[in-house]
Structure formats: C-alpha cells, structure tokens
Amino acid sequence: MGVPRRVGLMVLPRVLWGSVPLILLLLPAAEPICPEPCDCQQHQHLLCTNRGLRSVPKTAEPQDILTYSLGGNFIANISAFDFHRLSGLQRLDLQYNRIRSLHPKAFERLERLEELYLGNNLLPALAPGTLSALAKLRILYVNANEIGRLSAASFSGLGSLVKLRLDGNELGSLGDSTFSGLPNLLYLHLESNRIHWLSRGAFTGLAKLRFLDLSGNQQSSLRHPDIFGPLRSLHTLLLASNSLRQLTGGLFQHLPGLAKLSLSGNRLSHLAPDAFRGLRSLKELRLEGNLLSHLPATLLEPLDSLEALDLSRNALTALHPTAFGRLGRLRELSLRDNALATLPGELFASSLALYRLELEGNAWSCDCRLRGLKRWLAAWHSQGRLLTVFVQCRLPPALAGKYLDYLQDAQLPLPQDGGPCPEGASPS
C-alpha cells in the first residue's frame, strides 16, 4: 500500500479553531453602507425623510453621496462632524426638523454643495461664517425659522447664490449692504416677516436681482425714494399686504425692466402724480384692496406697456376721462367693488386691446351720463372684442337691479343730483 498523497490544505490546530469566533468578535464592525432606517435604493442618494430621527445617521461610503434628505425628523442640533465626511455632497435637505443650532463648522467640508434647505426649523440666527465655505451654493432656503436679524456676514462666501428664501421669519429691519455679498442673486423672498424699516442701502449689490417679494410685512412708508435704485434688473416687485399709506414720486424710477408690481392690500389713499414714473416696461399693476378715492389724471401715463390693471376693492368715486388714455395695450381692467356711480363714455376709447372689464359691485346711477359707456359696450360686444360686462343699476329706484345693457337710451333719465348730461347724451 502506498503512502497517502498530501494535499495542499493547511489544517489549523484544534486549539486555534476554537478561537475563531473570538477573533471575529474582536474585529471592528463594518459601518453599514445604508444606515438604519434610511433608504438607499438609488445610488448616491440617501433618503432619510420622516424616519423619526433625532440625530444625523452615519454612512460607510460618504464620498459617493450626492444628495442627503433628512427632512421631517426631530433633529435639534447640527454638530461639526455630522457632514464632515460628505465632501462630495451637492444637495442637503434638513427642512421640517427642530433645528435650533448650527455649529459654525457644520458645513465646512461641503465645498461642492449647490442646494441647502433649512426651512421650517427653529433657527434664531445665521451666525457669521457658518455658510462661508459654500462657494458653489446656488439655492438656500432658510424660510419659516425664527431669525430676527441679518448682517452682510451672514452670507459671506456665497458669491454663487441665485435663490434665497428668508420668508416667514422674525425680521424687523434690513440694514445697509445686508446682501452686498450676493452679486449673482436672482430671487429674494422676504415676505411674511415683520419688516417695518428698510435702510437706504438695504439692496446694495443686487444688480442682477429679478424677483423681490416684500409682501406681508409692516412697512407704512418707503422713506428713501432711491431705495430700489440698485435693482436695475428687477422684473417682479411684490409689496402687497403691508401698511403703506402713500407713494412718493419717482419711487420706482430706477426700475426700467420692471414688469410686475403688486401694491394690493395696503392702506394707500394717495398716489403722487409721478408715482409710476420710469416704469415703461410694466405689464401688470395690482392696486386692489386699498383706500383710493381718486387717481391723478396723469398717474398712468408712463405705463404704455401695461396689459393688466387691478383697481378693485378701493373707494373710487370717479375717474378722469383721460385716466387710461395712454394704455393702448391694456387687456384686463378691474374696477369692481368701488363707489363708482358713473363713468365717462370716452374712458376706454384708447384701450383698443381691452377684452376683460370688471365693473360689478359699484353704485351705478343709470342716468344719461352712462349713455356713452352703454354705447361703447354695445359696439365692443357686437364686434366680439369684449367679454360680458355687468353694470347693475342702483339708482334711480325705478331702475334698481336692472342691467345697463338691457335698457334703452330713452330709459336713462336726467341725473338725480341735477347735474348736466354729457353732450349728445340728453334724454330725447
């Protein structure tokens, strides 16, 4: 019998076999690629939203992560180390948590970050330098927090920022050069704060800004006539729902590209004749919900590009015959819910593009002074150029509730106040 052939298998001594479990236990546990209870089905995208987390979980391959979603949790603090290994991160979502503090070095390693969402938290401030490492950041949401004060240092290093949301905070004022370090900013949301004071240089450095929302604040006046001077590229300006009482002349004269202006829901009772000087590109003007009883005859003359004008819910009692004389491109006009009793027949003669006209909700006195308007409406309707316009009579009592377009000219009597009929409009 021959000698058994040796095989190349190393046999561990019996004593070592018993030690294997011990050795395995002593080895460091590998960090999970996808931490519990997150979802990593999409490569390079870490989804940890609405997981009941109270701290930021760790991951084994941080260099591969591009987006990290942590919204809808209970995270209260962001430490210096929570994201320090995520150098490749491009999008970070921390919205709808309970974050009260950000360590000054929390984002120090995120040099490639382009989008940062911190909205709907409890942040009381943006400490200077906290965001200074984010040179590539383009979108920053810090809306719906408790921020009460800002300075230029709050946004240092954010030269690439395009969109900034600060709405829904506790801001009471904006000082000089607050946004001077944001030369590429296009969209700025400041609505729903408590802003009652804007310094003269509040918007210095925002030469490229196209959209500015200041609605829902506590502005009673805009003290500096050139406060919007730096905003040469502005397209949309929203000042609705403040407490503005009047507009000084030339306030918007440095905004040659402005296309939309909203002043609705203020307390405006007076507009300077040159309040809209320089707004040659304006297409939409919203003035509804104010206290205007009259308009200066030349107020709207600079607005020859205007297409939509809302003057509803004011206290207008009369309009000058040439009030809309320069508005040849006007397509939509609302005068509803005012105190108008009559309108001159030639009021809309120059508005050849007009197709939507709202006149309901006024105190119309259906007498001979409305004959010119009645004829203009009939002509426009017959050509199919105007949607239905409702002019319901309130006076005289015999015509109350009737609609002007159903009445004959002979049914329109002399004015009850004894005033004259317009030339050619006397009852036959």
Provide the pLDDT for residue 77: 98
Residue pair 257/234 in contact (Cβ under 8 Å)? The answer is yes
Buried b (16+ CB within 10 A) or exposed e, 226-243: ebbebbeebbbbbbbbbe
Measure the CA–CA gap between 390 and 234, rounded to whole angstroms: 37
Buried b (16+ CB within 10 A) or exposed e, 130-139: bbbbbebbbb
Provide the pLDDT for residue 286: 99
Provide the pLDDT for residue 385: 87
- Band of the pLDDT at 66, cuts 50, 70, 90? very high
* The pLDDT of residue 35 is above 90: no
Buried b (16+ CB within 10 A) or exposed e, 294-326: bbeebbbbbbeebbbbbbbbbebebbbbbbbbb
What's the mean pLDDT in 189-200? Answer: 97
* The pLDDT of residue 374 is above 80: yes
Separation of first and last alpha carbons in the chain: 143
What's the mean pLDDT in 233-237? Answer: 99
Structure tokens at 3: 């000698």
Provide the pLDDT for residue 425: 58
* The pLDDT of residue 62 is above 90: no
* The pLDDT of residue 21 is above 70: no
Provide the pLDDT for residue 221: 92
> What structural domains does the chain harbor?
363-428 (3.80.10.10)
Is 91 strand, coil or helix? Answer: strand
Q: What does the angle CA 58 – CA 59 – CA 65 come to, to the nearest 5 degrees?
A: 120
* The pLDDT of residue 14 is above 60: no
What's the mean pLDDT in 226-233? Answer: 96
pLDDT tens for each residue of 280-330: 999 999 999 999 999 999 999 999 999 999 999 999 999 999 999 999 999
Provide the pLDDT for residue 388: 87
DSSP letter for each residue of 388-422: ----BEEESGGGTT-BGGGS-GGG----TT-PPPP
Instruction: Kindly report the number of other CB atoms within 10 A of residue 397's CB atom.
Output: 9
* The pLDDT of residue 424 is above 90: no
* The pLDDT of residue 63 is above 90: no
What's the mean pLDDT in 336-341? Answer: 98
- Band of the pLDDT at 58, cuts 50, 70, 90? confident
* The pLDDT of residue 19 is above 60: no
Provide the pLDDT for residue 426: 57
What's the mean pLDDT in 152-178? Answer: 97
Structure tokens at 237: 């300006």
Provide the pLDDT for residue 400: 96
- Band of the pLDDT at 23, cuts 50, 70, 90? very low
What's the mean pLDDT in 329-337? Answer: 98
Provide the pLDDT for residue 20: 40
pLDDT tens for each residue of 342-362: 999 899 999 999 999 999 999
Is 311 strand, coil or helix? Answer: coil
- Band of the pLDDT at 224, cuts 50, 70, 90? confident
Q: Work out the mean pLDDT of the chain and round it to a whole number.
A: 91
DSSP one-letter code for 158? -
Residue pair 223/247 in contact (Cβ under 8 Å)? The answer is no
Residue pair 294/317 in contact (Cβ under 8 Å)? The answer is yes
What's the mean pLDDT in 365-379? Answer: 95
- Band of the pLDDT at 79, cuts 50, 70, 90? very high
* The pLDDT of residue 61 is above 80: no
Beta bridge partners of 260: 236, 284
DSSP one-letter code for 226? T
* The pLDDT of residue 92 is above 90: yes
Tokens 């370090």 -> residue: 181
- Band of the pLDDT at 6, cuts 50, 70, 90? very low
What's the mean pLDDT in 376-381? Answer: 92
Measure the CA–CA gap between 189 and 143, rounded to whole angstroms: 9
Provide the pLDDT for residue 26: 42
pLDDT tens for each residue of 116-130: 999 999 999 999 999
